[in-house]
Amino acid sequence: MAILIMFNQADPKLLKVHLKLSIDCPEVRIYPDVGDKDDIKCIILWKQDVGLLDVYPNLRMIASYGAGIENIINDPSLPKDVPVTRFIDDTLSNQMAEFVLGSILNYRLNLTLYRELQASSNWSCKNIKKGKNVTILGMGELGKTTAKLLHLNGYAVSGWSRSEKKNQSIKNYFGNKQLNLSLVNADIVVCLLPLTPETKFILNKNLFNILKKGAYLINVGRGDHLVEEDLLDALYHEKLSGALLDVYSKEPLPTDHIFWKHPKIHMTPHISSPTDKEKVARQILDNYARIKVGEEPINQVNPKRFY
């Protein structure tokens, strides 16, 4: 009985160390040192190479190392009858909320701009940007917590989701028909959607055209939510005043990508809400204990809904 870790762009050895701190941890193997495939009961994945999952006859659980699961669901070798779980945790939601609040404050208070002006000894005072209407696209765990923190900080928050949600203190919108309505008053739009066939490329010119001139975009969902050309166009025509991007279609973003040097794009390297290794290790081992005695793991995703 063993757990297998298959990672790209995260350190499998570090997760193994955290798993091994618990006395209930079984043997942990790191791909490609798989050993006897019959031993593998659980696989932990992050941005894995696709096509490698259907060769483990005793597999009982596939666990995402993060909140997102699109890489797993889109893997053609994903066995149909094996439950897929994702990481759901307060630390993840709170970090995301803090990151979004910090990004908004940085934008409204011109903090990065002052740092740049400092380089040329330029004493120049700017106005605080006024609009405090924020629309959050995606009202799952991360969206809900972010909405709450922004509300507590005096922002007027609207939330849009696929199905109806009732969150206090924010304006709730749902379904395709209400998407435009949720966006017309937004000064700042935050994308926290899961990546699904319906939400892929949702941040496109049609959506940007609905916004007030000069709105600000924060994408902390996935790179493939965004049509890059449409963003560049909206920035050029000043439809959008700027964008903060934490996620990209290709990660790490190639060094010759136009975003790196764009004066209106603030980039961060997919760090808005890093997985807490200690917590994810505990959550996976608890689920491992469940599958060992034939119980269902918690935090399962619905592969048909992509989250």
What positions carry a catalytic annotation? 222, 270
- Of residues 43, 67, 217, 231, which one binds ligand GLV by CB under 6 A? 67
Within residues 175-204, the interface with ligand GLV by CB under 6 A covers: none
Residue 97 binds to ligand GLV (criterion: CB under 6 A) = no
Q: Is residue 242 part of the contact set for ligand GLV (CB under 6 A)?
A: no
Calculated CA dihedral for residues 95, 98, 100, 104, nearest 10 degrees: -160
Token pair for 52: 């490698």
Residues from 267 through 296 that contact ligand GLV (CB under 6 A): 273, 275
Choice from 12, 68, 83, 242 touching ligand GLV (CB under 6 A) = 68
Asked if 138 interacts with ligand GLV (CB under 6 A), we say: no
Residue 116 beta carbon to ligand GLV: minimum distance, rounded to whole angstroms: 28
Question: Binding ligand GLV by CB under 6 A: which of 66, 138, 159, 242?
Answer: 66
CA distance 222 to 203: 11
Q: Is residue 12 left, alpha or beta, with left meaning phi > 0 and alpha meaning psi from -120 to 50?
A: alpha
Please state, in angstroms and rounded to a whole number, the distance separating the CA atoms of residues 112 and 131: 18
Taking the least distance from each CB to ligand GLV, the nearer of 67 and 97 is: 67
Write down the least CB distance from residue 268 to ligand GLV, Å. 12
Distance (Å, whole) CA 301 – CA 307: 5
Distance CA 155, CA 307 (A): 28
Residue 219, CB-side half-sphere exposure with 13 Å CA sphere: 26
Which span (47-55, 62-70, 72-80, 292-300) binds ligand GLV, by CB under 6 A?
62-70
Among 63-71, 131-139, 257-265, 284-292, which window interacts with ligand GLV (CB under 6 A)? 63-71
- The secondary element (H helix, E strand) that includes residue 241 is strand 240-245
- Residues of the shown chain interacting with ligand GLV in the complex, contacts defined by CB under 6 A: 66-68, 273, 275
